[in-house]
Amino acid sequence: MKQDSENRVLLFGGTTEGRELALWLRDAGIPALSHVATDYGEALLREEALPAEYGRLDAAEMENLLRTGDFFAALDATHPFATEVSKNIRAAAAAAGVRYYRILRGEGSASEAEEAEEIEARLRARGCFHLFDSQQEAADWLATKVGAVFLATGSKELKAYAALPRERLTVRILPGEEALRKAAEAGIQPDHIIAMQGRSSVRLNQALLQQYGAKFLVTKQSGKPGGYLEKLRAAEELGICFVAIRRPAEREGYTLSEIKALLRAQYAACVTPERREGMQEESRTEIRKESKGEAEPKTEAEPKKETEPKTKGKAESEAEAGKKRVTIVGIGPGETSQLTFAAGQCIAEAGLMIGASRMNAVAGAFLRELGLAVPPMVASYKPEEIARLVAESRAEHIVLLCSGDTGFFSLTKKLRRALADEGLGEPVVLPGISSKSCLAARLGFSAEAVSDLRLHGKKDAVLPVLLRARRVFVILEGSAQLSELRTLAAALCRAGAGEAEFHFGVNLSLPDEILFSCSASELREGALEAEFAALPPHALLCLYLALPDSCKARPLAPGIPDDCFLREKTPLTKRQIRAAAISLLGVQEDSICYDIGSGTGGMTAELAMAAPRGIVYAVECDAAAFSLTGKNMERFALSQVEQVFGHAPEALRDLPAPDCVFVGGSTGKIGEIFGTVFAKNPAARVVATAVSLETVSELSSLSAAYESVGYRTQCLQLSAAETKKMGRYHLLFGQNPTLLFLIEGDGTCKD
């Protein structure tokens, strides 16, 4: 990779982390241009001899700059509250075909974040902490109060406080010409303008607040760079009211250490050998800080220990032939002692490691325990991005880290596909210890006959699998799922399985590992509230769910009893019809299904129980019926059902191609519905019911038309009768005859 204009990055800054990143880019030898909004921001960068320009740009101007500057990437290190600017940068980068990276602002160490939360709680208990979503909300609230206000929110936000008397306001702004002009335009008295740069200590904050007699301190939740903790400490000690503007949520992005590692990997060829060695040591220092939450002095990188010679395999031969060696490694449940020998050996030989932050921390800790040097690491969990990084890297051996076992709810399948799409060879895969194996060892159960499910990401239906298999293992998302688990417990109780055993494992193998248990009936009644409340925010949860031998509960489907459903005025397809329809459809456990005209939700529930690892789209155009379907899905804890409100076929257009479709209601558009379904998947199986002669005639014509072009068709007439006790006698009561029409393609049929 040559160091020319096509390898430049454009850094949008104006923040502390932006300046830090600009300095790092210069020292790393990565060509970059910094763009800031104000002349003051440019002056700060020019003082460090950094290439910079300033000016406020709209999205079109940003796009033009990215196109004409031949930039490789756009780094967005603007303020977290500058959401509109970030939106424009993202749009401009997409339009210009340039990669976009959002730089996340650090919250400080874990201890600092915890202290900030504790101070907020103490202030809140005294009625002295108020959190608002916008500047205007804060200003409106302050208008109802009396007392001097110290605004530390920046010059751009002053217009929100226009309704407050100017004599109440003291503002702290940056010492730039634009900021001073805005303060003057807002009518702020000159002796109430504090123009200064940088974080202030607790004592300086206190001195300023006392000098101006402030009763309210208004600031943004700006994290460590904005001195948020110091302001909290000052407000608490002085006993004044703290008003905070909530920081906009940022779900995706890179910390400074992560973006440095990513750029370091991409620009490795641009850097001199001497500087590259320094960058690797810098990477090791940053990883130490991340994993321990504190700074450590830099140490000399120790050489890797020699490993025993071994027989050359396919991977080594390819490496000698000039090909990259890529290994996907399962790191186990999280403790370094749970790494397999092969995984540890592979990590020790890596030239570059890529994985989510937690995986990287485990691998880094393992190497440090052995006294080995930590290679460059990139934090990423997106398969396409990881594959791109692998393709661009010059490292000979790249290790991709996955949690747990590579064959158990793992990223491995998607990684393989993404690597193949980049034209890379087949990776070596080293499995690890799964959370299921770990929990089985802790609880003493045998894992081979236990079905595996997940309530994490794409959710599976637990109830039907448990009633059929009687033992399941479930991957969970976290403590926020307690209400969902209570819904499952209630469904089990209704199915006669109140004694079902819930065994939870939290942070398995880690120092803070926890195990706790209860029955379904206990969980339904409120058990484990305290245990879940005490869990850390990012706890790793899994669940072993078992029916004891004494439990006589049996599978509900196919043919769920009619009296299991909540009923209103909406019709319900009778159980005999539902059972026959499921048989005709041939639903597989991972099928994608449509229930068109879901009504009460009878067929939706049947489809969901037949496809516990698939997904069911329940389409309904009547509001009352739509609501009733949702209630019954919650009643059976069928979390893989997606409801779609609207008329078919219009409501089907954005849905994925189905495998199985049941049509219980068509509002007169049965032909269009069949056409839409088979356009999405020519091999779909569709079953429609008919009870009126008109519908029978229409479906008969459709069947004949589809059969003439190669589709397979079948018609089944059902007439069921059930007994009811009348005195001493059991009398048969018949139902209306129902016809079921099946039309099935083989993927090669002509429309």
What is the widest separation between alpha-carbon atoms in the chain?
101
pLDDT at 546: 94
Least confident interval from 304-313, 482-491, 716-725: 304-313
**Rounded distance between C-alpha atoms, residue 596 and residue 672, angstroms:** 13
Domain ranges of the chain: 5-104, 110-245, 273-298+314-433, 436-546, 562-744
pLDDT at 715: 94
Does 269 or 227 have the greater pLDDT score? 227
> Which residue from 14, 1, 103 is spatially nearest to 379, judged by alpha carbons?
103
Omega prior to 427 cis, within 30 of 0: no
Share of the chain above pLDDT 90, in %: 42
Across the range 14-40, mean pLDDT stands at 80
| 3-state SS, residue 727 | coil
pLDDT at 314: 41
Across the range 491-500, mean pLDDT stands at 93
**Rounded distance between C-alpha atoms, residue 359 and residue 350, angstroms:** 14
Across the range 248-253, mean pLDDT stands at 66
Amino acid at 140: D
Least confident interval from 251-260, 289-298, 566-575: 289-298
> Which residue from 572, 298, 264 is spatially nearest to 395, judged by alpha carbons?
264
Which stretch, 179-183, 298-302, 491-495, 667-671, has highest mean pLDDT?
491-495
Across the range 149-168, mean pLDDT stands at 88
273-298+314-433: what CATH class?
Answer: alpha beta
pLDDT digits (tens, 9 = 90+) for 140-153: 999 988 899 999 98
pLDDT at 279 over 70: no
pTM (two decimals): 0.55
pLDDT at 150: 94
Across the range 57-72, mean pLDDT stands at 85
Average pLDDT, the chain: 84
pLDDT at 318 over 50: no
Does 620 or 252 have the greater pLDDT score? 620
**DSSP string of 352-421, one letter each residue:** EEEE-HHHHHHHHHHHHHTTPPPPPEEE---HHHHHHHHHH---SEEEEEESB-TTSS-SHHHHHHHHHH
pLDDT digits (tens, 9 = 90+) for 508-557: 988 888 999 999 999 999 999 999 888 877 788 999 999 998 988 888 88
**Rounded distance between C-alpha atoms, residue 621 and residue 599, angstroms:** 9
**Alpha carbon 255 to its chain's center:** 17
pLDDT at 652: 94
Six-digit token string for 346: 């592979």
CATH topology of domain 110-245: Rossmann fold (3.40.50)
Under the banding of pLDDT at 50, 70 and 90, the label for residue 285 is very low
436-546: what CATH class?
Answer: alpha beta
pLDDT at 415: 94
pLDDT at 302 over 50: no
In the 8-state DSSP scheme, what is residue 544? E
pLDDT at 600: 95
pLDDT at 248 over 80: no
pLDDT at 297: 39
Least confident interval from 412-426, 647-661, 726-740: 726-740
**Rounded distance between C-alpha atoms, residue 409 and residue 388, angstroms:** 23
Superfamily of domain 5-104: NAD(P)-binding Rossmann-like Domain (3.40.50.720)
- Write phi, then psi, for 480 (nearest 5 degrees): -65, -10
- Write phi, then psi, for 642 (nearest 5 degrees): -110, 120
Under the banding of pLDDT at 50, 70 and 90, the label for residue 748 is low
pLDDT digits (tens, 9 = 90+) for 68-104: 877 878 999 888 777 788 889 989 888 888 888 888 8
CB 86 within 8 A of CB 21: no
pLDDT at 439: 93
Share of the chain above pLDDT 70, in %: 87
CA dist 593 → 574, 585, 609, 659, 703 (Å):
19, 10, 11, 6, 21
pLDDT digits (tens, 9 = 90+) for 321-377: 346 899 999 999 988 888 998 999 899 989 999 998 889 999 999 988 888 888 889
pLDDT at 148: 92
pLDDT at 266: 63
Does 298 or 6 have the greater pLDDT score? 6
Note whether 110-245 and 562-744 share their fold: yes
Across the range 24-45, mean pLDDT stands at 76
pLDDT at 462 over 60: yes
Across the range 550-576, mean pLDDT stands at 90
Six-digit token string for 400: 């991709």
**Rounded distance between C-alpha atoms, residue 70 and residue 7, angstroms:** 8
pLDDT at 32 over 50: yes
Of 3.40.50.800, 1.10.3720.10, 3.40.50.150, 3.30.479.20, the CATH number of 562-744 is: 3.40.50.150
